[in-house]
Amino acid sequence: MEPNFNYPLSVLIPIADELSEVEIPLVGTVSAGYPSEAFNYVEEPIDFNKLLVKQKESTFCLKCGGESMIGDGIRQGDLLVVDKLAEPRENSIIVLSLNGDFTLKRLRRGKGCVELVSSNPEQPIITILEGEELHYWGVLKFAIKRF
């Protein structure tokens, strides 16, 4: 079944109730530079449910609604897999709400403050000021894109 990429941008996308095992063969590595012999062996198969979802209860998806993370290869319309129990670390890409508005940014700790950094040079750094309403939603684990 093909994934539904037609969710509106402002909706949390639930993980399926049942995650059945589906293994896809991993047949090697393909060069993105000089051509090389790539498909000469079969590695262990990949189960995308196991790869993308560590804990079903803490995993959700969102659709990316902007271009602030294009330097990280994340573009509008990409499907984002987020783990809300993952511990955010310095430089993690996180989903959070700031004063009621949701955003996807890198976490950076400045001198006595927290900064939210986009990877688009046209976007300013957001410095979290005392008294602002900040809610952590999770750490980005995967971005899935359609070509």
Task: State how far the Cα of 76 lies from the Cα of 136, in Å rounded to an integer.
Answer: 21
Q: Is 118 a catalytic residue?
A: no
132 CB-near residues (< 8 Å, 6+ apart): 98, 99
Catalytic residue among 20, 36, 58, 68: 68
Q: Is 68 a catalytic residue?
A: yes
Q: Which of 127, 114, 115, 7 is nearest to 60 (CA)?
A: 7
Catalytic residue among 54, 105, 118, 141: 105
Active site amino acids: 68, 105
